[in-house]
């Protein structure tokens, strides 16, 4: 029978290996679809544990591992656990002794921690004499904008087509610098937003800045477009709903006395419901073309559809909460009151099977803040590794 002490003991015994693995992955970050060394590390770890696995998925670097139930695996439920492996094009400034050895690339989102945690869970699970569930270990590439999760699903990672049996539930985690170390949190329903992006080109007629009446000024039109786009948030979306419209980059002109021919703008739109996402796109197109036209300009819109809303299902969320409360106490299992407007391609797994994505606290107790993800000073907190490993192992080893 699985006991609290047994799991805690196994996790403690594996921690030195997990920490060393995390540091090794951090030293050698790889961008999306380039995770060859990382994938090989994962494959080697699984091979040493005697875990059946398939590699070369989702562009070549995705890996699936299967740990069968110890009794009647043919009829046992299958629990999937997911980790992402890719890094970001950011130059590291942590000063850590294991800092990135690849200039301009670093693990600024903690995927080194996620991968090490899942390997740690595999090591714990492989040592259990009793496992009531089959376990699918999902190591995916390209979470950072490459749709790696979608590709894994399309290739049959959850269906049993690649290896193992069809998945009944899937769980994933993300290190969370806003939450305190030793806590976990999640919520039923939307947890992270849909993440669409746009490239907008407004074209007018260039001319001398001293004679604007001979030009058609795309800069002036763009300024009005940027302001008008906020009416989507203020006037088109239910105040009880959430949407973000951000123009994050503007490029126009070369000189201070020349009106340019065109302006390019880039940005993102985030929403927490499919219906709101569709509404925001429709309103974006209407406002952009209408305002540009009113200034005598033309607008070209390149719409880059991103990840869908990450939606947590009630049954796996309640299962996660119950397991986490038994492990660390009710006070440290937090019900997130609001979603976040960040995005995650874990969303794709939840379109196929019931899913729960949860947040693992990284901020040391008493600290006012912790470096945020996607910044040069972010580093996954090693002290969060044991709890991540323990909960992933418990989710796989607890009868469903």
Active site members? 86, 143
- 356: enclosing H helix or E strand: strand 355-363
Other beta carbons within 10 angstroms of residue 177's beta carbon come to 20
Determine the Cα–Cα distance for residues 184 and 76; give it in Å rounded to an integer.
28
CB atoms within 10 A of CB 238: 11
Structure tokens at 362: 């990284």
Cα 277 from Cα 196, distance rounded (Å): 8
Phi, psi of 246 (to 5 degrees): -125, 120
In angstroms, the CA 52 to CA 204 distance is 60
Alpha helices (H) along 155-273: 218-231
Closest CA to 11 of 299, 391, 266, 305: 391
Contacts of 352 (CB under 8 A, 6+ apart): 153, 158, 159, 167
Q: What is the length of the chain?
A: 400
β-partners of residue 379 are none
What phi and psi, each to the nearest 5 degrees, are found at residue 8? -60, -40
CB atoms under 10 Å from CB of 20, counted, come to: 12
CB count within 10 Å of CB 58 equals 25
Query: DSSP label at 108?
Result: -
């Amino acid at each position: 029978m699985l006991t609290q002490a047994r799991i805690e003991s196994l996790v403690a015994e594996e921690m030195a290996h997990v920490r060393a693995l995390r540091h090794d992955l951090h030293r050698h970050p790889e961008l999306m679809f380039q995770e060859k060394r990382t994938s090989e590390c994962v494959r080697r770890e699984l091979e040493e544990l005697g875990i059946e696995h398939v590699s070369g998925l989702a562009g070549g670097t995705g890996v699936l591992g299967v740990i069968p139930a110890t009794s009647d695996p043919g009829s046992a439920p299958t629990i999937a656990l997911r980790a992402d492996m890719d890094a970001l094009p950011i130059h590291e400034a942590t000063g850590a002794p294991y800092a990135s050895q690849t200039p301009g690339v670093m693990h600024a989102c903690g995927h080194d921690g996620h991968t090490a945690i899942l390997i740690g869970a595999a090591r714990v699970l492989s040592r259990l004499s009793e496992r009531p569930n089959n376990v699918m270990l999902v190591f995916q590439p390209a979470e950072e904008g490459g749709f790696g999760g979608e590709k894994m699903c399309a290739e049959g990672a959850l269906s049993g087509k690649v290896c193992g049996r069809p998945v009944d539930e899937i769980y994933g985690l993300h290190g969370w610098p806003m939450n305190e170390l030793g806590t976990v949190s999640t919520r039923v329903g939307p947890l992270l937003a849909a993440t669409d992006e746009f490239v907008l080109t407004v074209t007018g007629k260039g001319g001398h800045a001293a004679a604007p009446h001979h030009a058609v000024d795309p800069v002036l039109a763009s300024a009005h477009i940027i302001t008008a786009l906020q009416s989507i948030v203020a006037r088109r979306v239910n105040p009880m709903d959430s949407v973000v419209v951000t123009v994050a980059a503007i490029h126009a002109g070369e000189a201070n006395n020349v009106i340019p021919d065109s302006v390019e703008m880039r940005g993102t739109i985030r929403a927490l419901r499919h219906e709101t996402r569709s509404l925001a796109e429709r309103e974006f197109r209407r406002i952009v073309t209408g305002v540009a036209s009113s200034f005598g300009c033309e607008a070209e819109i390149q719409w880059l559809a991103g990840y869908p809303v990450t939606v947590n299902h009630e049954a796996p969320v309640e299962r996660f909460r119950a397991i986490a409360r038994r492990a660390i106490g009710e006070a440290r299992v937090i019900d997130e009151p609001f979603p976040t407007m960040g995005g995650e391609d874990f969303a794709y797994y939840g379109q196929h099977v019931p899913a729960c994505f949860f947040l693992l606290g990284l901020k040391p107790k008493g600290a006012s803040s912790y470096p945020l993800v996607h910044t040069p000073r972010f580093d996954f907190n090693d002290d969060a590794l044991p709890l991540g490993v323990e909960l992933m192992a418990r989710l796989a080893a607890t009868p469903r």
